Amino acid sequence: MRIYCTDNLEVKIIEPQIFVDDRGYFFESFRQDFIEKEIGDINFIQENESKSILGTLRGLHYQIPPFAQSKLVRVVEGRVLDIAVDIRKGSPNFGKYVAVELSEDNKRQLFIPRGFAHGFLTLSDRATFLYKVDNYYSKEHERGIFYGDEILNIKWNGSLDGVKVSDKDRYLPKFIDSECM
């Protein structure tokens, strides 16, 4: 595995070493010792999966303390544009975002620390998205930011006209009105 820093040095891209032959491929998708060495002491306790169709936008989601979550995300089918927004008040990167394409072909993973809002846009006919988290989901601590916020000005790979989004996500507060950490 190799790790790359993004513009926000705390968000990391992880690329596995892939072994390919005429039967297919093999790679280690997760190693706790690698994560501890490269990122720090994190204990992932829950794994989630979603399936989305082309043009589905999910996010921008986060949880506030004491249920804030770090995430390790990847795509096992299809491709997405993955977004992590720094919402930590006082951070030099507050309000800035990282955008990374994750796909079944590049097999990249993205580590998103606590204090970031997260979302993705499906770029393929369908995408299966997996993510590990280091804290349990809590409905009472769930928050979000409107994906089309003008201050954040996220480049979602083109127009947002016609995106498929839940009512919950469509009516999330703007960045300026959100409960940042």
Q: Which residues are catalytic?
A: 61, 131
CB 181 within 8 A of CB 88: yes
Gap between the Cα atoms of 181 and 172, Å rounded = 16
Gap between the Cα atoms of 143 and 166, Å rounded = 14
Gap between the Cα atoms of 175 and 179, Å rounded = 8
> What six digits make up the tokens of 86?
């720094």
Gap between the Cα atoms of 91 and 167, Å rounded = 30
Q: If you write DSSP's letter for every residue of 43-69 in order, what string do you get?
A: ---EEEEEEEETTBEEEEEEE-TTS--
